[in-house]
Amino acid sequence: MLSLRSALNDQGISACPNGLLGLNPFYKSSPDARKCFGFTRLSQIIKALRWPKSFVALGDHPADDNQGWQNGPQGLAHDAVTWFFTREDAFLTIPITTDLQGLSSNHFDKRRSPIPLGNGATYSLASTEPGGADTDIIQIDHMAGFNHLGALTIQSLGDQGLGDESIIYIPVQAGDGGNPNNKPIIYALQSIAGQSITDHNWSAKISQPGDQGAWCAYDPVAKRLYTSDFYGAPGAPKDATIAEWGLFAGTSVDVYSVGTPFVRDEGNPAGQQMVLTFRGSMQLFEADGTPALLLRIQGGFITDNRHLYLVQDDGTGIVGFDLITARKQRTIPVDYKHIQGIWDKTYQEIEAACLFSNPPAPGMSGDIHVLLWENGAIGIGEDFWIKHYGVSDPNDRPFI
């Protein structure tokens, strides 16, 4: 087995005189931050320090599609049988076995719930069509006072007796048309795979200042929720170029513990409403240890190796950070027509990404799936892609 020394050397780290936790200043910042490390065994740590050698593009599906339900997409996640999408104004479910290319919005019109989020409803995912898929297509509109759902994330709880359960976390902003006095929140839904989604009115405010609420990502090892400022460089001069954005970039992500009636954390009693407790900001670094440059962070996800993959919509693509060392380890370039200057109209945006190795979905393959939207800002249309990337060496898949 690879030694710890060799694993660190592969990341350009020759020694850790202050201990393993000392490699990442966040874990030394407080006792609460130390609890966010997550790993308890050396074998886990050594495996987590390894990364795939590279990723390759595997094509797009759907590609250049233009259905009404695809306008304003913000996030995608999944369980074993269902895709979960967020648009700015709605939460959508689609069976994984459904071909997304050309999927008509008429399907959503039939199953558009009359009860929006924030009203304590239970929404059935059971198909009502004879011979239909195991789960159904539904649309649930945004809650009152909020009009921008961001890039969502999912926490698997396993089988709790009724089937495989999960908690779906959705960052929500007031957005255009919402109440400007509403601060960004995280909204949580309970899902039983292929059966139902229950809205318990679980929500909590994001406490940190800035342009919050664009994305969140759940750490399945440390059981923490990550998010950050969007880092849209609002202080940059109007003649700044993308190359100059680094002067205005962010360098950190925010870490929260989370409690719900189904996720007991930090001693929250069962039945208590959702609680988000800020545990600190983790500074991220480039591979050489200099501060990372984070710009236009649209989405992200965290793997079982505690690898944080962020969607950096400044022409970069997907950037992967090791949460043990906080250093950038991989960049997955995404081919798209990004903005050319801070104040130019955006043409295409990469909105979100998720991990799903070889999904049983028509036209899809690979491991990492990136949501791309052509937003119509320059009058060309509002088109939709999901771009697919896989490890170049299948033996590297355990190290994603």
Q: Is 246's pLDDT higher than 90?
A: no
Which residues span the domain enclosing 9? 4-399
266-275: which pairs have CB atoms within 8 A and are 24 or more residues apart?
Answer: 273/201, 273/202, 273/204, 274/186, 274/188, 274/202, 274/203, 274/204, 275/204
Q: How many domains does the chain have?
A: 1
Supply the CATH number for residue 242's domain.
Answer: 2.120.10
Q: Residue 133 — very low, low, confident or very high, per pLDDT cuts 50/70/90?
A: very low
Q: How far is CA 260 from CA 96, 169, 242, in A?
A: 27, 11, 41
- d(CA 383, CA 71) in angstroms, rounded, equals 7
Q: Is 62's pLDDT higher than 70?
A: yes
Q: Is 263's pLDDT higher than 90?
A: no
Q: Residue 276 — very low, low, confident or very high, per pLDDT cuts 50/70/90?
A: very high
pLDDT of 173-208, one tens digit each? 988 778 888 899 999 999 999 899 999 888 999 999
- d(CA 280, CA 33) in angstroms, rounded, equals 7
- d(CA 218, CA 306) in angstroms, rounded, equals 10
pTM beyond cutoff 0.85: yes
